[in-house]
Amino acid sequence: MTNKKVLLTRRFPEIATQMLKQAGFLVTTRDTEEPMLQDELVAQSKNHDAVLCTLSDKINTDYIWQNAHLDVISQFAVGYDNIDIYEANKQGIPVGYTPDVLTDATADVAFGLMVATSRKMFYLHKSIIAGNWTYFKPNSNLGIELKNKTLGVLGLGRIGTEMAKRCRGAYKMNVIYHNRNRNAEAEKQLDAEYVSFDELLRKSDVLSLHCALNDDTKGLFDHSAFKKMKPTAIFINTSRGLVHNEADLIEALREGEVWGAGLDVTNPEPMKPDNPLLQMENVCVVPHIGSATVETRDEMAKLAAQNIIGFYNKQGMAHIVNPEILK
């Protein structure tokens, strides 16, 4: 038994609380999914030994300074751009995260957005609600086909690879990619070709983002990047909204520099209801639901809880962002 206190920053799937309580932790949880105000998050964390948090919790420099006593931070997400890892390292705080378990669910959303965008499905759904389904029109409502087209992946890691597998299986798409490091295994499995970032922009019929948000990728898809893309290309973002510049994307779509866009992440989040993207024919937007299946969210909750339990019982954290600090 331990008397360590764990703060869950909002209501997570119940299994996380159950596992932590069973392991003897004193758990503070909330009965809302709404994020805490920053002051409250900082203040509450001061009375706890560990924190289980997620994307919109700002675990920034100030937070970590004020909570340098924390033994462990466990993130419920694969991305951890909300956490100042540099500062966590300085304070010697290990940070857990939840990779792998959300790979398929997120690749499904990228693939679904690609298909839905290519056939204007969200817009046409809205047009029925608006009473515009009148008669069969041979030259209207036309989308574009995906068969034998080229999929460009920025970030051919776990999720990018699953997206590429789906695209090859369903549409025999040719796969090109750009990464910081080459992915030899995926090149073999998918016959994927490594290309420069510029080539990725110029050659992709569908360009799908699966990269992390960092200083190199922030704002990478701006006016100059969209201008280099094919006017028939579909842009898919299920990584982080800050990788694209939304005003530039809107302009590129209006000017016909890219054909369409499917977004699971936006910039900012949440997207405002009056965002022009929501009215565009060739655009599909969903509210950051990449990992949102019952099964996946339960698995993420288990991993996030297990990272805390493993840290304290010395079995180790199965998924840790900064393992070097434990050495």
269 is catalytic: yes
Specify the residue, 25 or 80, whose C-beta has the smaller distance to ligand DGY: 80
- 82-91 contacts at long range (C-beta below 8 A, 24 or more positions apart): 82/53, 82/54, 82/55, 82/56, 82/57, 82/58, 83/53, 83/59, 83/321, 84/59, 84/60, 85/321, 85/322, 87/60, 87/61, 88/59, 88/64, 88/322, 88/325, 89/322, 89/324, 89/325, 91/64, 91/65
Task: Report, in Å, the least distance between residue 2 CB and ligand DGY.
Answer: 27
Q: Which residues bind ligand DGY (CB under 6 A)?
A: 55, 77-79, 102, 290-291
Which listed residue (14, 145, 269, 295) is catalytic?
269
Specify the residue, 114 or 300, whose C-beta has the smaller distance to ligand DGY: 300
Sequence-ordered strand ranges (E) for the chain: 5-8, 26-28, 50-53, 72-75, 95-96, 150-154, 174-178, 193-194, 206-209, 234-237, 260-263, 283-285
Task: Report, in Å, the least distance between residue 120 CB and ligand DGY.
Answer: 26
Which listed residue (119, 158, 178, 240) is catalytic?
240
Task: Report, in Å, the least distance between residue 230 CB and ligand DGY.
Answer: 27
288 is catalytic: yes
Task: Report, in Å, the least distance between residue 82 CB and ligand DGY.
Answer: 9
Note the Cα 144 to chain centre separation in Å: 26
Specify the residue, 99 or 143, whose C-beta has the smaller distance to ligand DGY: 99
Specify the residue, 79 or 94, whose C-beta has the smaller distance to ligand DGY: 79
Which listed residue (10, 178, 288, 319) is catalytic?
288
Positions marked active-site: 240, 269, 288
